[in-house]
Amino acid sequence: MWIERISLKNYRQYEEAEIEFCRPTGGRNITVILGDTGSGKTNLVNAITWCLYGNEKHLTARNKGLDIYNTLAAKNLKPGETFQVQVKIHLGESDGGRIIVTRSLKYKVEFDGRVVRIPDHLSKAEDQSTLEMMRMIGKDMKEVQDPEFIIQKLIPEQIEEYFFFDGERLDEYFKEKSGVKIAEAVFKISQLELIERVIKHLKDLKQFFVRDRNDLSPRIEEIRDLIDRLTATLTDLNDRKEKAEAQRDEAERLELEAREKLREAPVQNIGKLEDERAELEENIEKTRKEIEELKNEKIQYLCSIAPAILASSCIQKASKLIGESEASGIIPPEYQPGFVNKLLTTGRCICGRDLIKGSSEYEEVKGLLNKSSILASLTRILIEDAGRLENLRQMVQEFPDKITRMNSRIQNLERNIETMEKRKLTIDSQIASCDSEKIRQYENEVQEYLKKKEKLIEEIGQLKQQIQATQSKIAMEEKELEKELKKQTKYKELVACLEFCQELLDVASGVKEKTMEDVRKEIEQQTKELFFGMIWKERTYANIEIDEHYNVSVKHISGNEAIGTLSAGERQILALAFVSALNNVSGFDVPIVIDTPLGRISSGPREKIARSLPSCFSDRQVILLMTNEEYTSEVKKVLSEHLSKEFSIEFTECADGSKARVIENDREWERKGASYS
């Protein structure tokens, strides 16, 4: 892409100016615009950036704060009159296409003489200027709807500083820019924002998945572990219970054996006593069971009567309301639904009037039918409920007596047990005090096994309880496990998303790093080549390196780092080489505009740099804004074979403002082969 023409109207010192450029062909890609310091060279660069981005990016301290319009333009205007500042750039595209970018800003002269801006409220620019673009589509020039977007695609604003730059500041490039800043430049020029945005988006997405996963994070393993532990406990409890049951059975068998021996002992009365004791024990056991059943019956009764007692206030209230409804005649309904329905079916009222469908009488009777139907059904419920509530009332009334009876039955049985146990103890002591050694031994055995058996029964009871508790714990945990397993499906999906996200992130980061690395190597190579092509001390420096942190290093032939010892001119050459490399690697086909490219270079190396400039930006349009001091005859000579056009800025200053004109120089001398000396 190349600049065909720049037209300026009322822009700063340019009241009216037009610069026609040539297409860079046949190695003639250089345009020189000459002007003294302060004549308006830098404002030509500003005009370009203002036109493209609505922002003057190279303002000098002198121009900062000053309005953009040419003061002479407003001078002869009357109050109420308007004028316009306009910069128009015609761009030629390599495929033959054309683009015209126009930025304008309107001003108005107020009655007090002040000049005020008329903002374009639809503008996206900070100064509210108007941007328009025409682009060749087919054979016609057509207006583009979103010019900012097209400009961003062709010459992105964030990297404009590598196309339109100040040569005098280049020499400060490696003074100011740290590795981080150079990395930023490489990043910008590599156009990695898109991939960076992808990476950012993937990171956000990853965070989102991680959060979701943490919320879900199934406790499956934890629960499974717990179930395993509980199952092991259950197995252990069951084993212990089985063992205790076997021991109990054995104790019972031995007890019975001892009792048998006792019963068969040849001592008077012992057999009889043992029989009585066995019968007592049997009765005690039976009575205990009876008490247990009675207690069960009691709890069943308590549970069945409890709702009626706890809700007794509502039984009372409902009964009262039903009674009142009956007493006030709300129920039963005045007319039975069957009777009213019959009137409607026969079509005649009891008063003798006809009930014709659709008539008001018919509708009235129909309404009566609905009302009486509802009341009849409610009456049925209420009558039934009234009877049942009465039953409940009686049940509640019977409660104290009934529960007392139950309690006394239980107490009687408990007293019976007490009596039987007393008698049993007496028999125990009678047998134990028997004269016969054998009998005492048998009795001791009976008591010993009996105690052992009872102890084991108690232990078995406790074990059963523990088993039940463990079983219900396992059941609860299994339910929990089921819930967690359901969560796991979602969890697995999330983990898969997360892994995929990470994979994408790795790929995107890899692409970014690889691209940056490739670009870095390419820039390093091109910088090196360009630098050594321009530098006049070829044998002083051995190499240029850009490390992985983008620190640029210039190696002296001795092997020492030399970047800190470079002269201003050498630094400018390095920067020019670096910027050229950035430019070439960027892939953007954009014209290069350099303000004062040789400003800080001493006369000796100027020629060498000037010779290298055209090849730095081969085939691209290069516009050099130079002072006559820079554009020496030597420079002129080396640039001449690449020069397409040469202009001069004529600058005049008067009391009301300044004025600049751009005039194409006559290059007759060149054609005649004039001497450069």
Partner 1 sequence: MIENGKEKEPRTLNVRKSDLEFYHRLLAEDSPFNGMDNKRIFLLAMATGFFEEKFADVKDMTSFCRTETLIPEERALIDAIAVYKEGSLDVLSNPRKVFEIAEGYASGGIRSLYEQVFEGEFGTYSKRLEAELRSIVEKMGGGIKSDSEEKEEHSTRHA
**Site of interaction with partner 1 (CB under 8 A):** 295, 298-300, 302-323, 325, 373-374, 377-378, 381-382, 384-385, 388-393, 395-397, 399-400, 403, 465, 468-469, 472, 476
For residue 246, give every residue at least 6 positions away whose Cβ sits within 8 Å of its Cβ, in sequence order, or none.
none
- When the beta carbons of 312 and 602 are compared against partner 1, the nearer one is 312
- When the beta carbons of 311 and 557 are compared against partner 1, the nearer one is 311
Hey, is 554 helix, strand or coil? strand
**How many degrees, rounded to 5, is the angle at CA 334 between CA 328 and CA 338?**
145
- When the beta carbons of 232 and 381 are compared against partner 1, the nearer one is 381
- When the beta carbons of 161 and 385 are compared against partner 1, the nearer one is 385
Q: How far is the CB of 299 from partner 1 (least distance, A)?
A: 5
Q: Is the dihedral of CA 504, 506, 509, 511 positive or negative?
A: negative
H or E segment at 239?
helix 220-263
List, in sequence order, the alpha helices (H) in 433-552: 437-534
- When the beta carbons of 181 and 479 are compared against partner 1, the nearer one is 479
Q: How far is the CB of 230 from partner 1 (least distance, A)?
A: 16
- Taking the C-alpha atoms of residue 305 and residue 486, their distance in angstroms, rounded to an integer, is 42
- When the beta carbons of 399 and 651 are compared against partner 1, the nearer one is 399
Single out the residue of 93, 75, 91 nearest to residue 83, CA to CA: 75
Burial of 105 per CB tally in 10 Å (0-12, 13-18, 19+): buried
Single out the residue of 252, 253, 242 nearest to residue 460, CA to CA: 242
Q: How far is the CB of 126 from partner 1 (least distance, A)?
A: 56
- When the beta carbons of 66 and 381 are compared against partner 1, the nearer one is 381
DSSP conformational letter for 34: E
- When the beta carbons of 206 and 473 are compared against partner 1, the nearer one is 473
| Maximal CA-CA distance, the chain | 164
Q: How far is the CB of 433 from partner 1 (least distance, A)?
A: 38
CB atoms within 10 A of CB 329: 9
Q: How far is the CB of 392 from partner 1 (least distance, A)?
A: 5
Q: At what angle do helices 603-616 and 568-586 cross, to 10 degrees?
A: 0
Q: How far is the CB of 399 from partner 1 (least distance, A)?
A: 6
Q: How far is the CB of 322 from partner 1 (least distance, A)?
A: 7
Contact present, 33 and 625 (Cβ < 8 Å): yes
The type of residue at 540 is T
Q: How far is the CB of 276 from partner 1 (least distance, A)?
A: 33
- Taking the C-alpha atoms of residue 235 and residue 674, their distance in angstroms, rounded to an integer, is 113
Contact present, 136 and 97 (Cβ < 8 Å): yes
The type of residue at 534 is M
Provide DSSP, 462-478: HHHHHHHHHHHHHHHHH
- When the beta carbons of 257 and 480 are compared against partner 1, the nearer one is 480
DSSP conformational letter for 666: P
Q: How far is the CB of 296 from partner 1 (least distance, A)?
A: 8
Contact present, 135 and 97 (Cβ < 8 Å): yes
Beta bridge partners of 3: 91
Q: How far is the CB of 341 from partner 1 (least distance, A)?
A: 13
Q: How far is the CB of 269 from partner 1 (least distance, A)?
A: 42
| 189 φψ region: left (φ > 0), alpha (ψ -120 to 50), beta (else) | alpha
The type of residue at 319 is S
- When the beta carbons of 108 and 473 are compared against partner 1, the nearer one is 473
- When the beta carbons of 335 and 399 are compared against partner 1, the nearer one is 399
